[in-house]
């Protein structure tokens, strides 16, 4: 008990901690995959392909970054993908109706945020386990989106809006800038602010966190709202990259985001992990798929390879964690 209490009220973590070592292992794994792919494929190390991978990883990262905070509190948000789908469809409608991309962006962020906040309310006020609450929310969102779209798609958006997801600035894709910004904000928030530290403390031991005066309910509401808002942001990137909104995108986005968080070394039991690790997790997943495309690996083998990589990554995580502790 004394140990846990000490951890809950310990001074802000330095980035060079246990977590830093975990991130180091992950970067090493990502580099290893890069090295193998560079040997196997001539086109892998081209600038175009590297930017490609970063842009593809960014979408997963945006969804997974907010989710990381939820997992740090020992929670889970299964509704993120469905949230992206609903937010994208609403934002797409608003842009079509008003012709204003700005209103569309606001709609997506607000809609995503509200859904996140509702998840937070279910978890805190109604005390529903987050797994169940957000699983229920997933169905609610799917239902709403399917009903709203009735099998249709919304497509064709203004060129300016398309720039967010498809455009370049000084030779770099715009989502890559957003990736850097949100990676920095997420890392600074989690590692360098009191709120961030309180989130780690809640995940490590909620009882100790409450007893040491941390407003647990408010922090939990915050992390679910952030997770939802990031889903809203991801929906904007999605919409502007694909030029289209459809109801059934949720399922294909949720599990990769969760996988990115876990491959990135954030523990499902809470209190351990980093936003940077999640970025590396998203990168590893993207690299694997990119590599298989470049090498023309048969469609039959791709799910199998992806599955094995996910299992290996988490297994390695457990192993290195035991060793360093």
Partner 1 sequence: MKLRLGYLALPLLTAAAFTTQARADGQTIAVFTKNQTNPYFQTVRVGADVAAKALNAKTLQYIPTKPDSIPEQLSQIEDVVVKKPSAIVFIPVDYKAMVPGVEKINDAKIPVVNITDRSAGGKFVSFVGADDYSLGLETARYLLKTLGGKGNIVIIEGVKGSLTNVDRVRGFNDALKETPGAKLLASQPGNYQRLQALQVMENLMQSNSQIDGVLAANDAMAVGAIEALDGANRKAQVIGINGTKEAIDAIKSGKLLASGDYNGFAQGCLGTMMAIRNLREQPVVAEIVLKPTVITKDNFGPFDVPLEQRACPTWEEAQKLGTK
Q: Which residue stretch of 25-33, 43-51, 64-72, 225-233 sits at the interface with partner 1 (rule: CB under 8 A)?
A: 43-51
Q: In this structure, are strands 153-155 and 244-246 parallel, antiparallel, or unpaired?
A: antiparallel
150 lies in the site for partner 1, by CB under 8 A: yes
Q: How far apart are CA 195 and CA 226, in angstroms?
A: 13
User: Given the complex with partner 1, which of 167 and 215 has the nearer CB atom?
Assistant: 167
159 lies in the site for partner 1, by CB under 8 A: no
**From 247, 262, 263, 309, residue interacting with partner 1 (rule: CB under 8 A):** 247
User: Given the complex with partner 1, which of 41 and 93 has the nearer CB atom?
Assistant: 41
Q: How far apart are CA 241 and CA 88, in angstroms?
A: 12
Q: Which string of x and - marks every residue 115-144 that binds partner 1 (by CB under 8 A)?
A: ------------------------x--xx-
Q: Which string of x and - marks every residue 52-91 that binds partner 1 (by CB under 8 A)?
A: x---x--x--------------------------------
5 lies in the site for partner 1, by CB under 8 A: no
Q: Which residue stretch of 6-14, 47-55, 94-102, 112-120 sits at the interface with partner 1 (rule: CB under 8 A)?
A: 47-55
Q: How far apart are CA 55 and CA 165, in angstroms?
A: 9
**From 2, 42, 127, 213, residue interacting with partner 1 (rule: CB under 8 A):** 42
Burial class (CB in 10 A: 0-12, 13-18, 19+), 33: middle
**From 163, 166, 268, 316, residue interacting with partner 1 (rule: CB under 8 A):** 166
**From 10, 14, 46, 98, residue interacting with partner 1 (rule: CB under 8 A):** 46
CA dihedral 12, 18, 22, 25 (to 10 degrees): 130
* Token duo for residue 137: 């929310």
242 lies in the site for partner 1, by CB under 8 A: yes
Chain centre to alpha carbon of residue 191: 17
Contact 69, 223 (CB under 8 A): yes
DSSP 8-class letter at 15: S
**Among residues 157, 161, 154, which one has the least CA distance to residue 90?**
154
Return the biggest CA–CA distance within the chain.
59
Residues at the contact surface with partner 1, assessed by CB under 8 A: 41-44, 46, 48-49, 52, 56, 59, 139, 142-143, 146-147, 150-153, 155-156, 166, 238, 241-244, 246-249, 252-253, 289-290, 292-294, 296, 298-300, 302-303
């Amino acid at each position: 008990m004394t140990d846990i209490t000490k951890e809950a009220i310990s001074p802000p973590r330095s980035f060079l901690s246990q977590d830093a070592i975990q991130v180091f292992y992950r970067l090493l794994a990502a580099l290893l995959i890069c090295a193998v792919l560079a040997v196997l494929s001539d086109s892998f190390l081209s600038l175009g392909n590297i930017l490609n991978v970063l842009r593809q990883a960014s979408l997963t990262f945006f969804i997974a970054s907010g989710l990381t905070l939820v997992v740090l509190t020992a929670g889970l948000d299964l509704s993120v993908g469905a949230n992206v789908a609903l937010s994208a469809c609403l934002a797409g409608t608003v842009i079509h109706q008003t012709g204003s991309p700005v209103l569309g962006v606001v709609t997506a962020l607000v809609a995503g945020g509200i859904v996140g906040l509702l998840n937070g309310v279910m978890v805190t006020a109604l005390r529903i386990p987050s797994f169940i609450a957000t699983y229920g929310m997933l169905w609610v969102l799917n239902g709403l989106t399917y009903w709203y779209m009735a099998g249709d798609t919304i497509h064709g958006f203004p060129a300016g809006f398309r720039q967010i997801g498809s455009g370049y600035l000084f030779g770099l894709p715009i989502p890559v800038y957003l990736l850097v910004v949100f990676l920095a904000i997420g890392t600074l928030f989690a590692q360098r602010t009191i709120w961030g530290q309180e989130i780690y403390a809640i995940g490590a031991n909620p009882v100790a966190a409450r007893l040491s005066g941390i407003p647990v309910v408010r922090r939990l509401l915050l992390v679910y709202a952030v997770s939802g808002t990031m889903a809203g942001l991801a929906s904007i990137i999605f919409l502007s990259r694909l030029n289209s909104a459809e109801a059934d995108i949720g399922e294909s986005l949720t599990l990769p985001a969760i996988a990115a968080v876990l491959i990135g070394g954030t523990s499902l039991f809470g209190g351990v992990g980093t936003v940077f690790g999640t970025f590396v997790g998203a990168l590893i997943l993207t690299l694997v798929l990119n590599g298989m495309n470049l090498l023309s690996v048969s469609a039959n083998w791709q799910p199998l390879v992806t599955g094995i990589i996910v299992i290996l990554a988490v297994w390695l995580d457990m192993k290195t964690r035991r060793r360093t502790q």
